[in-house]
Amino acid sequence: MEALTQCWFTRVHRPERERHRESDGSQTSTCRYCQRALVSWDRENWNLSDGLDVSRLAELTNGRTLTLIDTLGDLIIRRFTVRHLGSEAEVEALKQELREQYALDDAGSTLVLRDSAPPRGRRRGKVQSTAAEPIPIPPIVPPSGDPLQDSV
């Protein structure tokens, strides 16, 4: 009899270290627990790649949405379209209103609000260079010939 994997209990699949970028912008990998194929569109949420991904289909057909998810039951509670909003400030205001309405910031809350828009302004691994002063290089001092001074 085979043992049940961790993802069977938690309903959360974790990808292995090796990941592949696909031509459609997604990333694929395999689950480190059950070894099934996974796909991710935001490198944060991983879903089984075999079958129909209803959340991804809704994003493609309806445009940008805010999705309220119960992480404990792994259920989509409600989707909010933001197509009618004119600016990013209005979208942020709606997010804040939903956070207050559904008490998302409470300590015991299992609800999460996810935005289908791609993350903006995140650059991992790149250091922002500032055009300040150059780093001074210490002068090279020739050895004096005294072994006690050269070792210091």
7-11, 23-27, 29-33: least confident range: 7-11
Q: Which of 23-32, 42-51, 114-123 has the highest mean pLDDT?
A: 23-32
CA distances from residue 133 to 16, 64, 129, 136 in whole angstroms, order as listed: 42, 43, 11, 9
Question: Other CB atoms closer than 10 Å to residue 29's CB: what's the count?
Answer: 20
| Same domain assignment for residues 32 and 74 | no
Domain of 12? 1-50
| Same domain assignment for residues 34 and 3 | yes
Show Cβ contacts of residue 143 under 8 Å, excluding neighbours closer than 6 positions.
Answer: 150
What would the pLDDT profile of 125-142 be if each residue is shown by its tens digit? 444 544 555 666 666 666
| Same domain assignment for residues 58 and 114 | yes
Rounded-to-integer distance, Cα 62 and Cα 117, Å: 12
Q: How many domains does the chain have?
A: 2
Look up residue 10 and give its two tokens.
């938690």
Whether the full predicted model's pTM is greater than 0.75, yes or no, is: no
